Amino acid sequence: MPIPLKAGEVLRGRYKIRRIIGQGGMGSIYLADDLRLEGRLCALKEVEHDRSLPTDLLREARDQFLREATVLARLDHPNLPKVSDFFSIGSHDYLIMDYVPGKDLRTLMLEAKNAGTFLAETDVLNWGSQLADALTYLHSQDPPILHRDIKPSNLKLTPSGLVKLVDFGLVKLLAPGEVTITVLQGQGTALYTPLEQYGGDSGHTDARSDIYAFGSTLYHLLTNQPPADARDRFLDPDTLIPPRQINPGISVRTEKAIMWAMSLHPDDRPQTVEMFRESLLGSYQPVPRMPVRPGSSITPYIYTDPERALILVSAGLTLLSLIVTLAQFP
């Protein structure tokens, strides 16, 4: 574990540490004063690389940090904290981001749970719509950017009602034709992580991985209970309790959308964040390819429009061939 920065310590002659506000296996986040811009508070994220890595891999990890920090610094969206600076000191790398005041959604959920109630579905869907805005923006970048660690504690609600998706610790850039790259090695938080993400960087993750975590986050916020781990669900599908069995006040529509997003196979989930948003709030009716009954291996196949057209053409050609054949006989 790295030695924590001390209160009053100044980095790069500009960022004065106040206190630690978050900590994980890959580093810590500190609240700091920006001495160059009077009155500005910022979040300083310290990145600790695995020192057991061979020298060439450690150098590549540092290069990755610089490349991807450059990309993050270009992002500009109201539901994302702005990355304003990045630098390295010794064996440590640092990201400087806007400090986001307010409570995270996990704290709000726990407050509701302790009061013996649930968060209002209308509030959760409003927050979800804002999260969809942030993810759509990230996924539309060139190359697309995945967050890979969406969960209630990484969503902060500002005093003005704005939701911010924070902690870019596992952000991943999707480079065309290449194995994807991660700023910090890691797999996300187990309860919200899809199966394909357990392979680390050797696993294939794309926008649908964020959609799984998105659905899992809404599940937790609306039920006060974390969803079953994807690995447990793979062994026993019944471990995931439908949300309405826990909170009957949830609408059928919302439950269907969440269960769709949490499908184990990426192909069975909404293929885009906008599709998931529409299933939650718009006119789109989710039609997940789910087992006929829990635990069943029989899956109904849902034909796409091109497949239906191909079937009709094939049937027409078969019928025409039969007519021609019969016409040859007197």
The span from the CA of 24 to the CA of 154, in Å, is: 13
Q: Which of 33, 34, 149, 167 is catalytic?
A: 149
Count Cβ neighbours within 10 Å for each residue of 10-27 and write b for 16 or more, e otherwise: ebeebbbbeebebeeebb
Task: Specify whether the CB–CB gap between 104 and 155 falls below 8 A.
Answer: yes
Q: DSSP letter at 18?
A: E
Q: Which residue has the tokens 């920006």?
A: 34
Going by C-beta distance under 8 Å and a sequence separation of 6 or more, which residues neighbour residue 142? none
Task: Specify whether the CB–CB gap between 300 and 289 falls below 8 A.
Answer: yes
Whether 167 is catalytic: no
Q: Which residue has the tokens 């471990």?
A: 239
Q: Which residue has the tokens 């690389």?
A: 49
The span from the CA of 42 to the CA of 157, in Å, is: 17
3-class state of residue 221 by DSSP: helix
Residue 14: both structure tokens together = 């500009």
List the catalytic residues: 149
